[in-house]
Amino acid sequence: MKARVFSGVQPTGNLHIGNYLGALKNWVEIQGNYESIFGIVDLHAVTVYQEPAELRAKILETAALFLAAGIDPKHSTIVVQSSVPEHAELAWMLTCVTPVGWLERMTQYKAKSQAQETVGDGLLQYPVLMTADILVYQAAVVPVGEDQAQHLELARDIAQRFNSLYGETFVMPGTSLPLAGARVMGLDDPTKKMSKSAAGSGHAIGLSDAPEVARKKIMRATTDSQPAVDFENLSPGVLNLIEISKAFMGWGSQQANAEFSGLRYGDLKKKVADIVVSHLEPMQKRYAEIMNEPGYLTGVLKEGAERVSPIAKSTVQLVKERMGLYA
């Protein structure tokens, strides 16, 4: 039997090349080696207010982007989190074995809660629900970008605590980071992670950005006052452009060195823009085709939920037995 993979994306904002290089690209590459389940985690999205009609539209757009990026629904399952209620049910049981202190230490919680006027309890519980997403399918491998690594350490701590209290129940999930692109930085400010929510039109390259728009953002990306690429002395902005190219092309350091060493920044940016656009264009073409066939998309999601529901149900049943719950 193949080991199971789970990972997810929140259907909020616009997916960007950081999400693609940190997560989706890796999913596509490994999907054949595992029994893969990829989630559109709408229950996570509502930890901060989402306009309902917009959220509903974003769920379908995210599913279409998964397919456009190369997730093959014949081999992998795409599932909307809220359509399998066991995610939320298991999250409660895990909440009860999770010390609040573990949650308050999470750096994403600290950052997100600072940005809110009132902090919903969901924001604190967020990584417990993530843990449930993974454990409900007994996933052994979780391919994510670097910003999720702390949450996955917590997931292992929670799994371990449950196992030691109630007996071996959960598979320990491992973190899988991509070789390049695990942390894509903002183009306008390469000291900050590229993020869906960050303001500023020059910050992120959206997977749906038109080629001219993507090109313009790259040409305006922050670099430094040196004239050309010097691998002995790369500033964060130049390093980020090189990392983006390595991740898209699957290049190692030697090849990146050969391609970019000594290039003037203007030429570097043109080359990076060509690389990015050449990958976005085919994805956008497939995306448009998929969005033109809404029946196909909803069919994939319905089938996805049906396919993985029995796994989730049997895990929750086992957990109930272990905990002595009645149902």
In whole angstroms, give the CA distance from residue 91 to residue 106. 17
Annotation marks residue 112 as catalytic: yes
The CA distances from residue 51 to 45, 58, 74, 178, in Å, are 11, 10, 32, 33
Number of residues that bind ligand TYM (CB under 6 A): 26
Binding to ligand TYM, residues 70-99 (CB under 6 A): none
Binding to ligand TYM, residues 37-76 (CB under 6 A): 41, 44
In whole angstroms, give the CA distance from residue 281 to residue 107. 35
For the window 132-161, what string marks contact with ligand TYM as x by the rule CB under 6 A?
Answer: -xx-------x-xx-xx-------------
In whole angstroms, give the CA distance from residue 66 to residue 307. 17
**Comparison of 146 and 263: residue with beta carbon closer to ligand TYM:** 146
Selecting among 112, 270, 271, 313, the annotated active-site residue is 112
In whole angstroms, give the CA distance from residue 48 to residue 116. 8
Residue 193 binding ligand TYM, by CB under 6 A? yes
Residue 18 binding ligand TYM, by CB under 6 A? yes
What is the Cβ-side half-sphere exposure of residue 250, based on CA atoms within 13 angstroms? Answer: 4
Binding to ligand TYM, residues 95-134 (CB under 6 A): 130, 133-134
Least Cβ distance, residue 142 to ligand TYM (angstroms):
5
The one among 5, 19, 65, 215 contacting ligand TYM by CB under 6 A: 19
Task: Check if the beta carbon of residue 248 is closer than 8 Å to that of residue 279.
Answer: yes
Annotation marks residue 74 as catalytic: no
Q: What letters, b where the CB count within 10 A reaches 16 and e where it falls short, cover 289-319?
A: ebbeeeeebeebbeebbeebeebbeebbeeb
Selecting among 196, 216, 271, 320, the annotated active-site residue is 196
Residue 237 binding ligand TYM, by CB under 6 A? no
Residue 177 binding ligand TYM, by CB under 6 A? no
Give 255's DSSP letter.
H
Task: Check if the beta carbon of residue 223 is closer than 8 Å to that of residue 187.
Answer: no
Give 172's DSSP letter.
P
Least Cβ distance, residue 197 to ligand TYM (angstroms):
9
Contacts to ligand TYM by CB under 6 A: 6-10, 18-19, 21-23, 41, 44, 130, 133-134, 142, 144-145, 147-148, 181-184, 193-194
* Catalytic center residues: 112, 193, 196
